[in-house]
Amino acid sequence: MDRVGIDKSYLPRHVAIIMDGNGRWAKARNRPRSFGHRKGVERVKEIVRTSADMGIEVLTLYAFSTENWKRSQEEVRVLMSLLVEYLASEIDELDRQKVRFRSIGDRTALPGKLSGMLTAAEEKTARNTGLCLDVAINYGGRDEICAAARALALDYAAGKISDPGKESFEARLFTYGLPDVDFVIRTSGEERISNFLLYQIAYAELYFTKTLWPDFSSEEYVRAIEDFTRRNRRYGG
């Protein structure tokens, strides 16, 4: 048993969270959407700490999808600056908690400052052995799969690999080296996957809650993980 009382042998190795509902949370309080996103960052800090305490290996958070560019310029700006602020204020604490930080998604379209900070955070924490915190930014599952297929085809055509099979394909995904996703959580009552880790969730258990992300507490997170530990996974067997 760990500090939160869950039997470690049944823990999901990789938890992936679609953090939804920041806008509705703010609207219900007559506040701008940015207020909800800011509150959402506080939840991120808490859920990262709880994941590390529980002994989860990998936590992937969907912070910005390839479709999120369709939001207003102002909202995109707020989300990008919240990510910059998060890294600036948290990286030392994450490092102290032995968190290994990484990020997935197409970095080329991100503001230069954010992209540089992501690389610096990855380098600083690369040798840490605790929780792997994986943040998806400008990420889309279909884009990832198409890019991996293209890279595989090009490498095969160039004679760089002899077997264009499953292993070579997986080695070209952003998540190479990480375990498959065991558990997907989505907040805010929406029950869909929205282009998140399409390849990696093949056998994942799904958990949907009506709670909006800014209200998603550690206690509810632990209850969700407990729910996972009771599920009977058969992988088609």
Query: What stretch of H or E contains 48?
Result: helix 33-54
Applying CB under 6 A, which of residues 135, 178, 184, 225 lies at the interface with ligand FPP?
Answer: 135
- The smaller minimum CB distance to ligand FPP, of residues 190 and 219, is found at 190
Applying CB under 6 A, which of residues 15, 83, 204, 224 lies at the interface with ligand FPP?
Answer: 83
Bridge partner list, 59: 15, 133
Cβ contacts of 147 within 8 Å, gap of 6 or more: 172
Q: Is 94 in the site for ligand FPP (CB under 6 A)?
A: no
Instruction: Give backbone dihedrals phi and psi of 106, rounded to 5 degrees, phi first.
Output: -85, 110
- CA 101 centroid distance within chain: 11
CA distances from 61 to 16, 21, 48, 137, 166 (A): 6, 14, 10, 9, 25
Q: Is 141 exposed, middle or buried (0-12, 13-18, 19+ CB in 10 A)?
A: buried
Residue 137 CB, shortest distance to ligand FPP, in Å, is 8
- The smaller minimum CB distance to ligand FPP, of residues 86 and 196, is found at 86
Residue from 20, 22, 134, 182 carrying the catalytic annotation: 20
Residue from 53, 68, 106, 215 carrying the catalytic annotation: 68
Cβ contacts of 84 within 8 Å, gap of 6 or more: 111, 113, 114, 117
Residue 63 CB, shortest distance to ligand FPP, in Å, is 4
Residue 3 CB, shortest distance to ligand FPP, in Å, is 23
| Residue 68 designated active-site | yes
Residue 52 CB, shortest distance to ligand FPP, in Å, is 15
| Residue 128 designated active-site | no
Applying CB under 6 A, which of residues 57, 68, 145, 147 lies at the interface with ligand FPP?
Answer: 68
Three-state SS letters, 105-122: CCHHHCCHHHHHHHHHHH
Determine the residue with CB nearest ligand FPP: 23
Applying CB under 6 A, which of residues 6, 12, 15, 37 lies at the interface with ligand FPP?
Answer: 37
Q: Is 118 in the site for ligand FPP (CB under 6 A)?
A: no
- The smaller minimum CB distance to ligand FPP, of residues 143 and 170, is found at 143
For 145, the 3-state DSSP assignment is helix
How many residues are present in the chain? 237
Report, as residue numbers or ranges, the catalytic residues. Answer: 20, 68
Contacts with ligand FPP, residue ranges (CB under 6 A): 19-24, 37, 40-41, 44, 61, 63, 68, 79, 82-83, 86, 135, 188, 213
